[in-house]
Structure formats: structure tokens, C-alpha cells
């Protein structure tokens, strides 16, 4: 199993979440985060904003579903045709075990 952590623009959360659930990934956890990227934040005039609000989506999927989920996020989190800096990042990390508390089962 793999955990996909996607950091995306807050205004893209709606479309990404609805497309994910249409694409067969209903289970998602979302949290507010602040961060900066390689561009060192956003410079407006003399002020540099290096803590830009973003949303982090956390999805745990079976190995074979990883590409599907990432494709859906990539497609919908982009701004415009060309995409722009700040559209976000996706990280994938391994998950050893999963437990569902209500049933105690260790399957996704």
C-alpha cells in the first residue's frame, strides 16, 4: 500500500476531491498547511510571502491504483492549460499496515 500526499492550491480542492470520488477514491483526508517551494515563496513588490497557504490531501491506495490517483490529481490541480508555479507537489511513501478501527480488519 502507498500513501499519496498531495499539496495543492486551496481553490483546487473542490474539483480534485469530486474527481477523486468519481474516479473511485472516496476516502481522503485533508488538512491545511503552509509552505513554500523552490521559488522561495511569492514576491509582491518588496514583500516576500514564504508561507503560502495550501491544502494537503492524504490518500492511501493499493500499489496498482497509485498511477490512477496521481493522474486524477495532476489533471485537476493544474491551473490553466500551461499550469503554473505553486500548483503543488505529490509525494508517495510506503505504508506497511492499515487497520480499520470499526471492524479491526487490516485491509484497506
Partner 1 sequence: MKEVIAIIRMNMINKTKEALLREGFPALSANKVLGRGKKKVDFSFIENMLSGDEMSTVNEFTSPVIAEALTEGQRLIPKRMLSIVARDDEIKTIVDVIISVNQQGKPGDGKIFVMPVLDCVRVRTGETGELAL
Residues that bind partner 1 in the complex, under the rule CB under 8 A: 3, 13-14, 17-18, 21, 26-31, 58, 60, 93-104
d(CA 3, CA 25): 13
Of the pair 19, 87, the CB lying nearest partner 1 is at: 19
Rounded least distance, CB 14 to partner 1, Å: 6
d(CA 73, CA 65): 13
Of the pair 60, 77, the CB lying nearest partner 1 is at: 60
Of the pair 3, 74, the CB lying nearest partner 1 is at: 3
Rounded least distance, CB 12 to partner 1, Å: 12
Rounded least distance, CB 4 to partner 1, Å: 12
Rounded least distance, CB 21 to partner 1, Å: 8
Of the pair 28, 70, the CB lying nearest partner 1 is at: 28
Backbone dihedral region of 99: left (phi > 0), alpha (psi from -120 to 50 degrees) or beta?
beta
Amino acid at each position: 500500500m502507498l500513501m499519496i500526499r498531495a499539496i495543492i492550491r486551496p481553490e483546487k480542492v473542490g474539483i480534485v476531491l469530486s474527481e477523486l470520488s468519481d474516479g473511485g477514491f472516496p476516502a481522503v483526508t485533508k488538512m491545511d498547511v503552509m509552505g513554500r517551494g523552490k521559488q522561495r515563496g511569492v514576491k509582491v513588490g518588496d514583500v516576500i510571502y514564504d508561507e503560502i497557504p495550501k491544502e494537503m490531501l492524504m490518500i492511501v491506495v493499493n500499489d496498482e491504483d497509485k498511477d490512477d490517483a496521481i493522474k486524477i490529481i495532476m489533471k485537476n490541480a493544474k491551473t490553466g492549460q500551461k499550469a503554473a508555479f505553486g500548483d503543488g507537489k505529490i509525494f508517495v511513501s510506503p505504508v506497511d499496515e492499515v487497520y480499520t478501527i470499526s471492524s479491526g480488519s487490516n485491509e484497506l
